[in-house]
Amino acid sequence: MMLSQKLRLAALATAVVFFTSGAALAQKKYDAGASDTEIKIGNIIPYSGPASAYGVIGKTEEAYFNKINAEGGINGRKIKFISYDDSYSPPKAVEQARKLVESDEVLLIFNSLGTPSNSAIQKYLNAKKVPQLFVATGASKWNDPKNFPWTMGWQPSYQSEAHIYAKYLLKEKPEGKIGVLYQNDDFGKDYLNGLKDGLADKSSMIVAEEGYETSEPSIDNHIVRLKASGADVFISVTTPKFAAQAIKRLAEIDWHPLHIVSNVSASVGGVLKPAGFENSQGILSSAYAKDGSDPQWDNDPGMKKFYAFLEKYYPEGDRLNASTVYGYGVAQTLVQVLKQCGDELTRENVMKQAASLNDFEPDTLLPGIKINTSPTDFAPIKQLQMMRFKGEKWELFGPIMSGQLNEQSSFQ
């Protein structure tokens, strides 16, 4: 009897140790900005100033997180989205980043917009070991996990996009004379360098370069000088306000070059419609996301979810605006990362999970384009497809392409 009692007590002690150890292993881990009930996400975007057209992205993201919260949150936690305006001003971005980290104590800063603004806050956030996740800019510098392990991009790099246009011109207009209008900052210069790299020993095709400042009210004089250079190809490396101005100005001065506009300003609703569809015919660009203005996607399962989201959570959102599509896709990517984090909502694990995305497909990406990352690859989206504006919508053509310079391409 005594032996039997001793055995029962020993078994009970073993069970206590086992369950206690299991509880310890399953213990939740949090950094600032996370708790049993909440995940605080910071965001910096130009709701005012020369790039205010991008404010739609922040509003779309807020609406998407409202949707997630209404559906129960992420692993039972609600997202608190704190979004501040920096007016596309780097000093203001620094001020807002410090406020988000030191006062609001967010877990991470998500999809802050603009190459100049993100450049201004990158060293600060990396020193503080705060994720600067899925930045809204295609500068190639965001894919540098060795030197900046807390910063990651999302969209294809500007250099990759420029490489694709260079390939197109070398095949379709090898004798062309190229005039480039570019924003005089890291965004524009990164793109211009990519174009020259893509043209390689034919970079002399570029006969004129005009850099503009975002403080300029108009880029009309730059357009006139580019026309005077004799260029018959015009590449517009601009944000939406200036892209629309350029399209209008080309029509006013009766200049009809082959016109390429960078992806960030290829929005039908945000750029081409205000500039005039009659002025936008034949413009070329590239895409990695589906176009909400194109009826070919009306029965697409992913876009049906997107349209249902707009109807219920963001009825004022414009399905024609590429920024609305963009905001939805990148917000969906962040939600996937946070789901993968489980109960370990530390800044380190956020970056670990962001660098562990495998063939993730947001609802709004073009078929065949998938998100993949690794500890040595901080460039989630690497592919694009060329497109031409016709009527009131973009028409895709050619293959899905990466921006690798050694990739052979064909166009239709």
Q: Which domains does the chain have, with CATH numbers?
A: 38-156+296-381 (3.40.50.2300), 158-287+385-402 (3.40.50.2300)
| pLDDT for 403 | 73
* Mean pLDDT for all residues in the chain: 92
| pLDDT for 186 | 85
Distance from C-alpha of 180 to C-alpha of 112, rounded to nearest angstrom? 27
Q: What is the share, in percent, of the chain residues with pLDDT greater than 70? A: 92
Cα dist from 102 to 71, 91, 94, 150, whole Å: 30, 17, 12, 17
Confidence class for position 71, pLDDT limits 50, 70, 90 = very high
Furthest C-alpha separation in the chain: 106
Distance from C-alpha of 335 to C-alpha of 406, rounded to nearest angstrom? 34
pLDDT in tens, 22-63: 434 458 999 999 999 999 999 999 999 999 999 999 999 999
Place of tokens 């239709």: 412
pLDDT in tens, 216-243: 999 999 999 999 999 999 999 999 999 9
- 390 strand-pairing partners: 393
Place of tokens 């963001």: 314
| pLDDT for 410 | 52
Cα dist from 347 to 29, 30, 149, whole Å: 10, 8, 11
